Structure 1
Amino acid sequence: MSPRNSILLVLGMAAALYAQGPEVPVDPSNSFQVNLPGDGPLSWVSADWGRTRATARGGAMLVDLHSTLVFKNSSSRAIRGVSLLVLAQEVTPGGKASVTVPSLDVQPGESFPIRVDLRLMRPLNTGTGVLVQVGLDGVLFEDLTFYGPNRLNARRDMLSWELSARRDRKAMLAALNQGGPENLRKQLLSVLARPSDNLVMGMQVARAMPSTNVEAGRSVEFAFLQFPDSPVELLSGDVRMTGTEARAPRIELQSKAKRAIRFVELGWLAKDEQGREFMAGTLPADLNLPPGQHSTIRKENTLRFAKPVNSLTAFPTAVEFSDGDLWVPSYAALKDPRLAAALPASGEERRLAELYRRKGLDAVVQQLRSLR
């Protein structure tokens, strides 16, 4: 699976980007640094920085980082996910990013590559020194324990992906056990046939701007999909809709759990003017929600959609408890007819389908039986 690259800070030097400056010489021997804890689970094997370029842009330097880093699992446990912190400048807008790789199966002593393709900004420095530093933000092991500073909340993301992947593999294995190889093949072919790109409507999140009377829009109440096993129940909510924008969403929810909840992620289904529903994205929220209590999620944001939206439906996609445990929806919940029609195949379903396309059914069966 390709690394999920997420620029954490938006490039804030737009004015400087109008002036394309000269290329800055990059010496791979001293321009890059990989910092790993000496007693950590990873050791660094090699790196190829050959395609990385640096360009002066006004008073800043734009670093196009392209590298393949090879690491070794130095621990005694299998690794399921790795997150790297990539730093050109701690405080510069656009100077920090992460690369997270889920769905790994790296046994003790094995080496594995991580591809890094990022664009970073840093102050222009004509002297010598390290341009980019790569550090470890976290490692998720097979037993779901975590190692690392977790500066970017990598644990939550990797645990969510791993639990979801295990859920989907379990469902695929059940299809194999109940209907034989041809039943599994049928499921894999249906994943390959799904037009994933057409099932997602683009959504951008921006800070809300003061609205005028003309732009006030209309108040639209959220619809909700409830899952019986969800730790939260979505009660009510509304948003101001103006064309392709939804402003200041508000959702009231109640905890059904016996443990305190500190984080909730909600998925968004958007219905366009033709009545078609698309997965539009997710909205995360940090909470302090005791058992049985109510809370209200308020976001002073503007959600910009790729096309006009008539209605919105929200549903829980992840809930994190105060002890670090995580809930994700069951496979049966996500196969609800309405969701099944709107959601693209999951990352693990696509990975297994691609494995089937490249190596055949036996390779998929082998993985399903080994990665239970």
Structure 2
Amino acid sequence: MPVSALVRTRNRTDSDRTQVARATDSPRYGTAWNRAVRHGGSAVALLCTALLVAGCGQQDDASSIVRTTTNIAGAGVVGLERDTSQACPLPSAPDPSNGKTRTVTHAAGTSEVPADPQRVVVLSTSALDAACAVGLWERVVGAVPIDGPRSQPMYLGYGVLKIPTVGSAAQPDLEQIAALHPDLIIGDIPGGPGGFAALQAIAPTVLADPESGWQAEFGTLAAGLSRSNAAATALENYHTEARETGNALAASQTQASVIRFTAEQDQVQGSNSFAGQILADVGVQRPTAQRGTSFDVTEQDLIKVEGDIIYVIFAGESGEEHGKKVLRGDAWKDLGGASDKRVFAVEDTVWHGDGLTAARALLADLHSSLNGFVTD
């Protein structure tokens, strides 16, 4: 039977207490996230800051939402039962235009895009995230899916699950895309046959470079959507929210460690990672060993994972299986963050994400966990 537990706030300035429910180890990380209420027994509503994340078009009754945490190999899960009602704002106004099209320069060249596109195909999660962030997700008529039990990331909510899929991110299906009659295609540079030229033959196409950094990528995708002004405002609001989050949590007094487990790799997420950049925006400090770029660790040098709090990311089921073995090992249990019960499992598509909506979801995760710890 599930065991209820406390996740207590341990702010170095003011001590608050947050109650959540805890369930026994989940056999599947995805299942734990999608079905925690059914499998987790009784749940206790959070008394701390509400999670402010995710979900295009889902009408949630905020008073009925119960936020829970499931225990995975000793780590309390953050981000269960996100409020999906406010992630995607109302549609934003298009940028001013003197005609029906505008010229956009992007990673693959130059394109003439509609001044206000109505039927959009997205070829990456970052593109769907961008459409959500400027309020145009309901104009998305096709999207490449992600791996896992859901076709799209959970932090974007339920509405996006109704969007038809078009092949895969590695190989978009050109026939399926053409059949949707899009007036705009946005995404990352594809690896499928024909590349940019084949897509451009179907509809005006704007492709971003994921290596340019998530904010620059968001700017390119928003320009393709003719929403550069809306994107600039959204980014400004994000930075304000990040600063306010840091101040509210006394973030500069905490050193947070972040590690991501794949089937075969244990990688500390450094300053160049998505999570590392958001933590820096909030003002969260990093352990000395983690103040550079991302790097791999082994069981022999897990000391580099040490921190006041440790966030763990599982990349799919295979990443969870491998990560749980590490978390149950003696070397991990010797870490101060583990023995102090300050280890939290976070959602891969958020903390290893690539977009403004994911960044806002990560801020909400910090609200509910940075000054907390899990007890039996």
Normalised TM-score (structure 2): 0.25
Query: Greater Rg, structure 1 or structure 2?
Result: 1
Bigger proportion of residues as strand: 1
Compare relative contact order (CA 8 Å, sep 6+) and give the higher one, 1 or 2: 2
Bigger proportion of residues as helix: 2
Normalised TM-score (structure 1): 0.25
